[in-house]
Amino acid sequence: MKIFIVGGSSGIGLSLAKRYASLGNEVAICGTNEEKLKEIKKNDSSIKIYKVDVRNKDELKSAIDDFSQGNLDLVINSAGIYTNNRTIKLSDKEAFAMIDINLTGVLNTFEAVRDMMFKNNRGHIAIISSIAGLLDYPKASVYARTKMTIMGVGETYRAFFRDYNINITTIVPGYIATDKLKSLSKEDITKKPTVLSEEESTNIIIKAIEEKKEKIIYPLSMKILIFIITKLPKKLLTYIMIKQANWGKK
């Protein structure tokens, strides 16, 4: 298969790229961090590298077209940024960056492959959201709102793309032990519920894509927990979530 991973220079995106490449697939990734991209290129020549800002649709499309040469089996968007800051501390720069990368980046991914996949009458698109996007409460973060929105975007595109034999899988993971999560948690992720390793998450995502699932929420324990707490009154849910967000802070 030919596979392009948007935001594949770190975290789950890079883990997926390495796994797919090890299975004999043609894999390309894109990202913006030049140092990370150079390091990946040095350590794994089997993965093709592109320096691309996902906010630039033309730039993204150009990279995908160069790699695919008109034939692409799977594109995965795992690009995303997160900040611990909430609205009262969130700068406009941080807010716009999350909206641009987390949301506009997904829209650009769909649009970058649309014509090619329509012409080929086949293809698969996977977008990585977050369990945070399932929690609808008044003080939800900008990050959570962007992840909630892209789930809706996935549903909308699926309705239009299915006539062209194009599958869309929405990936909704809980906490994954990425370097980013460890950094944001000051290297202590023990208080995060049901944390999975990158390898465990990679296994689940690849299986969901192989089975052409429309949506996968995991791990099961987190899925059950989310189902329960979303039944709570909004005031109580807000209290619990704000308290959880401040775990470990002095």
pTM for this model (two decimals): 0.88
Q: Which candidate, 111, 77, 53, places its Cα nearest to that of 4?
A: 77
The alpha helices in 81-233, defined as continuous H runs, are 92-98, 105-120, 142-161, 179-184, 198-210, 220-229
Looking at per-residue confidence, does 220 or 236 come out higher?
220
Q: Please report the sign of the dihedral spanned by the C-alpha atoms of residue 68, residue 70, residue 76, residue 79.
A: positive
C-alpha triplet 80, 84, 90: angle, nearest 5°? 95
Task: For 136-183, write each residue's pLDDT tens digit.
Answer: 877 788 888 999 999 999 999 999 999 999 999 999 998 888 766 556
Residue 246 has pLDDT above 60, yes or no: no
Please state the rounded mean pLDDT for residues 33-57: 93
How far are the Cα atoms of 74, 90, 133, 148, 199 from residue 107, in angstroms, in the given order? 16, 24, 17, 14, 27
The span from the CA of 101 to the CA of 81, in Å, is: 7
Residue 93 has pLDDT above 90, yes or no: no
Task: For 176-203, write each residue's pLDDT tens digit.
Answer: 887 665 565 555 565 666 788 999 999 9
